[in-house]
């Protein structure tokens, strides 16, 4: 590999995938795009600005004054008018990292399905979320919610609450899933009429039954964590190691190996090399700078290589075929298109022409170059193409270039590519063949364009796919073309297949058949049996192309094609359609790789997302084909099972590791089918700020009259715990535990007390103070060495008050049938360049779905089998260990107790594994144990330790009590204590009388 290639690939490896950059202390190049589905409302722009301005202050607080939002661009839809917006440059809806669009729910979320520490795809907000101030009550201040979603987007952390496991057992005690543990609250069940009742307990699990909610105290005395509940006023930062709840069954622990969010941000995120050394700002951050831009009708210039090498393998003919498909079926009406060809010199084949009819399209098709000769002077073509773009309004800003070439430049492309990048045009590049210049990727990456590298294999149909993918969506997918099928075959007989047209598509449906040599016999049959013969198709002999344009809206169902040839030749078919209705977005597929460049040191993941209007489509059959420049291909079935490379089960994102790497450019194509009727639409909760059902605004507990400090919810009849904020002596917080001798509504008599201290950076330490000299009303003086003034403790006997938020608008979660459909999509091409001479050997993938259950005195573990190489093949063996201590198991796996796995034989990757075993002792009721698994391959390479699974032994209770909240039982507590005191006094009096009487009688 030459040094120039190494430099280009190194740049690709180090560059950010989002476009967002950290400039000093400020984030810049943030694009917020409003979908074309959103009606014009200029108030929305002000709301976005207010959210980011407020969020910048919260972000500054959350990360120790290190960062803030510096610059952001708001992209408004093309149809918004009445205001002179700036002209958009390289911004587009699909590339934007914050998207504003309608959806089934107003919940803010980040679309996240990558590994911990990797950036999410985008933040999604609805217009109603921004315009309707009542949602602030449901989720918290918009600025703080933005920071919550930003942490997902930028730093790849996960939520610290759990909708599926809101409660868990911790060493026999019931706990709410939260972080930090210093967040306190109460458990309530909200009835249909809005009244509250105590939560009932499931007699088998001894956990609250479904419908029990955790209501936090409105006033908290901890500042973390934003990833748990950003709606709380006191919460302004992320959980750090000394306060992280390592046991909570939330996504942050599961996905990030029980690592605190703060540690992920500073050690694993895209900013890990910058944040630790970044100095805090000395003053408050300035307000963000906003730019509001708009993209109008597309202006495109095709810059096409017609040098002599384009005669190889009929490349010039294939260029014509693909460009014809682009002009006839893909580019939208009212777009302006120009055509430039280049070889030794450059030539304008067509000036900018507005597409306003079918005849205009055909005229442009006739002007496509058909002959090739000469050298490859790329700069001549690029400069002339930019000149064509300037002919409409004098600038190239926001216009598009589609640049195709098959060879290395005869001239120095660096001399012109830098200028082209600075013009503000979007440059899509197609590197046709194995020798195309590496600078083509540079131009696409830096301008928001798309990069493709199709090979010379006719049956792969890659060049057609590349041109068909050159759309620029505004968020309204009803206006974008949808590729239903793209497949090829070399045969001397029949080429048959089925294409399923579903209810969401059907308009402008076209079948394009390309043959290599001889005109074949073609027949296409509709679902109702109507047959379209060749007499109803158009045949372009010079392009060796046959096209059927289905009139009106194509009939839903299975369309069958039959192509017969009598000689051996390559045949391809491409089927494209549009939405059947302007009100119903079509099912779409988006394909991508986890990296655009690999040196073999980090596994690559293939992703395919299948959705319809942000609703996941599950249970589809998804296959990916990864094809190199040499034509070698690997097929992978992508899975949505929540194991291996797949982050979440049934989220509509299908994933798999790509392990058979080879040097060079590789193309990605994904095919999706639902021809067995199993696919479903579902509504799934995304990662985002939680809905809060309400708050406890008056807990009715023991308070200090002077400070109003709150008592923790956990107490017994003779123990009350008070959490007190204290900034004295460098303490982070103080906790005073009082042993109660007697309580009256006006005073508390204490017989002993102790204080637990949590120093900054250290764990808790207990200081015992023994007994006070007087057993009268206790004062705070002395608990802090006399540093605080006398403040009498008083007991408030009122019941707690819960303030309910409005209910979250219901969203139907019933899975809906999809019907038969087919789709194909391609992702951007990527490159592989090994650091060594041989491909890497990957260990088995990390097990991410380990679960544990204690059944009497046995333990049952379940997980999805990893492979020999990541998630492919079969691993050699498993190592299972357990511990009472989660941290020890996580940090020192080999030191934990080992489980005998001699009888466990790993199954093929993707299989369900279960292993039941007995421990060498009787597990006591209330015991919590932690389990982890590692797997090993034939080369003795070990996987990472699995997610840590925990299980508690809880014996069923046929009559479980409800959950008692402290605020609800204070009156009972007072009465009980009084009764107990009266009984004691009565017993003492009787005993004294009896003793005295006996003495007299004696």
Which are the catalytic amino acids?
149
DSSP letter for 735, please.
E
Identify the CA nearest to 301 among candidates 370, 391, 362.
391
3-class secondary structure, 55: helix
Count of helix runs (H) and strand runs (E) in the chain:
15, 57
- Kindly report whether the peptide bond that precedes residue 225 is cis, defined as omega within 30 degrees of 0: yes
Name the one residue in this structure whose structure tokens are 């958009």: 88
Would you call 756 exposed, middle or buried from its count of C-beta atoms within 10 A (0-12, 13-18, 19+)? middle
d(CA 142, CA 129): 9
Q: How far is CA 647 from the centre of its chain?
A: 9
Would you call 128 exposed, middle or buried from its count of C-beta atoms within 10 A (0-12, 13-18, 19+)? middle
Cβ contacts of 237 within 8 Å, gap of 6 or more: 61, 62, 63, 223, 224, 225, 226, 262
Dihedral (Cα; 551, 557, 558, 561), 10-degree rounding = 0
C-beta of residue 751 within 8 angstroms of C-beta of residue 771: yes
3-class secondary structure, 747: strand
d(CA 933, CA 949): 9
Instruction: Tell me the backbone φ, ψ of residue 397, rounded to 5 degrees.
Output: -55, 120
Q: Which pair of structure tokens corresponds to residue 659? A: 């392990």
C-beta of residue 846 within 8 angstroms of C-beta of residue 897: no
d(CA 119, CA 357): 43
C-beta of residue 239 within 8 angstroms of C-beta of residue 226: no
Identify the CA nearest to 866 among candidates 908, 895, 901.
908
Q: Where are the beta strands (DSSP E) in 50-89?
A: 68-69, 71-76, 86-87
- Kindly report whether the peptide bond that precedes residue 313 is cis, defined as omega within 30 degrees of 0: no
Q: How far is CA 311 from the centre of its chain?
A: 45
DSSP 642-704: SSTT--SBTSSEEEEEE----SEEEEEEEEEEE-SS--EE---PPBSPPP--EEEEE----EE
DSSP letter for 834, please.
-
Cβ contacts of 579 within 8 Å, gap of 6 or more: 477, 478, 479, 482, 504, 505, 507, 585, 586
Tell me how far CA of residue 819 lies from CA of 527, 609, 676, in angstroms. 14, 18, 9
d(CA 614, CA 502): 18
C-beta of residue 110 within 8 angstroms of C-beta of residue 149: yes
Tell me how far CA of residue 466 lies from CA of 248, 473, 486, 487, in angstroms. 46, 16, 11, 13
C-beta of residue 306 within 8 angstroms of C-beta of residue 407: no
C-beta of residue 925 within 8 angstroms of C-beta of residue 966: no
d(CA 802, CA 370): 76
d(CA 834, CA 660): 12
Quickly count: other Cβ atoms within 10 Å of residue 555's Cβ: 15
């Amino acid at each position: 590999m030459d040094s120039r290639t190494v430099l280009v690939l190194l740049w690709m490896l180090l560059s950010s995938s989002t476009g967002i950059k950290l400039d000093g202390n400020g984030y810049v190049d943030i694009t917020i795009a409003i979908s074309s589905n959103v009606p014009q409302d200029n108030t929305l722009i002000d709301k976005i600005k207010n959210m980011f301005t407020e969020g910048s202050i919260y972000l500054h607080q959350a990360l120790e004054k290190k960062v803030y939002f510096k610059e952001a661009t708001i992209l408004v839809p093309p149809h918004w008018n009445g205001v002179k917006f700036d002209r958009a440059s390289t911004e587009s809806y699909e590339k934007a990292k914050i998207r504003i669009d309608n959806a089934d729910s107003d919940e803010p979320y980040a679309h996240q399905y990558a590994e911990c520490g990797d950036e999410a795809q985008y933040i999604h907000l609805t217009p109603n979320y921004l315009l309707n101030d009542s949602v602030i009550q449901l989720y918290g201040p918009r600025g703080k919610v933005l920071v919550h979603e930003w942490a997902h987007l930028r730093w790849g952390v996960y939520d610290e609450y759990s909708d599926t496991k809101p409660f868990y057992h911790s060493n026999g005690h019931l706990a709410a899933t939260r972080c930090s543990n210093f967040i306190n609250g109460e458990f309530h069940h909200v009835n249909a009429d809005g009244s509250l009742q105590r939560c009932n307990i499931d007699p088998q699990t001894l956990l609250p039954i479904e419908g029990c909610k955790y209501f936090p105290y409105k006033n908290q005395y901890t500042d973390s964590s934003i990833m748990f509940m950003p709606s709380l006023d006191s919460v302004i930062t992320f959980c750090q190691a000394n306060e992280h709840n390592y046991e909570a069954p939330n996504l942050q622990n599961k996905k990030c190996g029980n690592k605190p969010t703060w540690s992920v941000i500073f050690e694993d995120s895209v900013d890990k090399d910058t944040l630790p050394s970044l100095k805090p700002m000395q003053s408050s951050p300035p307000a963000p700078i906003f730019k509001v831009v708009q993209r109008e009708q597309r202006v495109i210039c095709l810059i096409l290589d017609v040098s002599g090498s384009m005669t190889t393998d009929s490349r010039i003919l294939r260029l014509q075929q693909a460009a014809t498909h682009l002009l006839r079926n893909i580019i939208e009406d009212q777009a302006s298109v120009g055509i430039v060809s280049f070889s030794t010199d450059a030539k304008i084949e067509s000036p900018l022409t507005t597409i306003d009819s079918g005849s205009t399209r055909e005229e442009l098709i006739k002007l496509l170059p058909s002959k090739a000769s000469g050298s490859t002077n790329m700069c001549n073509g690029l400069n002339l193409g930019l000149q064509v773009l300037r002919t409409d309004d004098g600038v190239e800003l926001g216009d598009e270039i589609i640049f195709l070439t098959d060879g290395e430049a005869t001239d120095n492309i660096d001399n012109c590519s830098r200028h082209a990048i600075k013009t503000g045009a979007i440059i899509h590049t197609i590197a046709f063949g194995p020798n195309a210049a590496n600078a083509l990727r540079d131009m696409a990456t830096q301008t928001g364009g798309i990069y493709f590298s199709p090979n010379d294999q006719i049956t792969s149909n890659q060049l057609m796919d590349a041109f068909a993918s050159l759309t620029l969506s505004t968020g309204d997918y009803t206006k974008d073309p949808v590729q239903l099928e793209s497949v090829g075959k070399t045969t001397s007989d029949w080429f048959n297949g089925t294409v399923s047209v579903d209810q969401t598509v059907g308009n402008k449906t076209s079948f394009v058949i390309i043959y290599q040599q001889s005109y074949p016999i073609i027949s296409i049959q509709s679902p109702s049996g109507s047959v379209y013969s060749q007499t109803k198709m158009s045949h372009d002999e010079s392009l060796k192309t046959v096209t059927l344009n289905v009139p009106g809206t194509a009939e839903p169902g299975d369309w069958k094609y039959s192509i017969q040839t009598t000689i051996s030749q390559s045949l391809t078919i491409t089927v494209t359609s549009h939405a059947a209705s302007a009100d119903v977005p079509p099912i779409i597929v988006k394909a991508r790789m986890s990296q655009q460049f690999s040196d073999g040191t980090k596994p690559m993941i293939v992703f395919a997302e299948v959705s319809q209007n942000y609703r996941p489509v599950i249970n589809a059959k998804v296959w990916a084909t990864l094809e190199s420049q040499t034509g070698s291909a690997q097929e992978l079935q992508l899975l949505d099972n929540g194991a291996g490379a797949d982050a979440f089960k049934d989220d509509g994102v299908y994933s798999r590791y790509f392990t058979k790497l080879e040097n060079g450019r590789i193309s990605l194509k994904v095919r999706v089918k639902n021809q067995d009727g199993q696919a479903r639409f579902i509504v799934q909760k995304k990662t985002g700020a939680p809905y809060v059902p309400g708050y406890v605004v008056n807990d009715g507990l023991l308070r200090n009259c002077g400070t109003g400090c709150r008592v923790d919810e956990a107490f017994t009849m003779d123990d009350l715990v008070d959490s007190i904020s204290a900034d004295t002596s460098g303490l982070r917080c103080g906790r005073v535990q009082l042993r109660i001798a007697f309580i009256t509504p006006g005073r508390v008599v204490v017989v002993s007390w102790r204080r637990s201290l949590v120093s900054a950076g250290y764990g808790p330490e207990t200081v015992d103070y023994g007994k006070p000299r007087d057993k009268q009303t206790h004062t705070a003086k002395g608990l802090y060495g006399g540093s605080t003034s006398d403040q009498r403790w008083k007991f408030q006997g009122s019941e707690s008050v819960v303030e309910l938020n409005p209910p979250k608008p219901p969203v139907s979660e019933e899975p809906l049938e999809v019907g038969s459909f087919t789709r194909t999509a391609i992702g951007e091409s990527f490159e592989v360049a090994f650091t060594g001479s041989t491909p890497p050997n990957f260990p088995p993938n990390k097990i991410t779905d380990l679960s544990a259950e204690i059944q009497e005195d046995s333990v049952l573990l379940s997980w999805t089998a990893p492979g020999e190489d990541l998630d492919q093949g079969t691993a050699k063996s498993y190592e299972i260990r357990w511990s009472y201590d989660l941290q020890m198991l996580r940090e020192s796996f080999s030191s934990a107790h080992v489980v005998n796995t001699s009888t466990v034989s790993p199954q093929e990757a993707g299989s369900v594994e279960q292993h039941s075993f007995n421990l060498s002792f009787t597990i006591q009721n209330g015991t919590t144990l932690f389990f982890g698994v590692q797997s090993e391959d034939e080369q003795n390479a070990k996987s990472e330790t699995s997610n840590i699974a925990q299980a508690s032994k809880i014996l069923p209770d046929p009559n479980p009590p409800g959950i008692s909240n402290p605020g609800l039982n204070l009156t009972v507590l007072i009465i009980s204590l009084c009764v107990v005191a009266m009984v004691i006094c009565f017993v003492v009096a009787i005993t004294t009388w009896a003793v005295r009487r006996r003495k007299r009688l004696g």
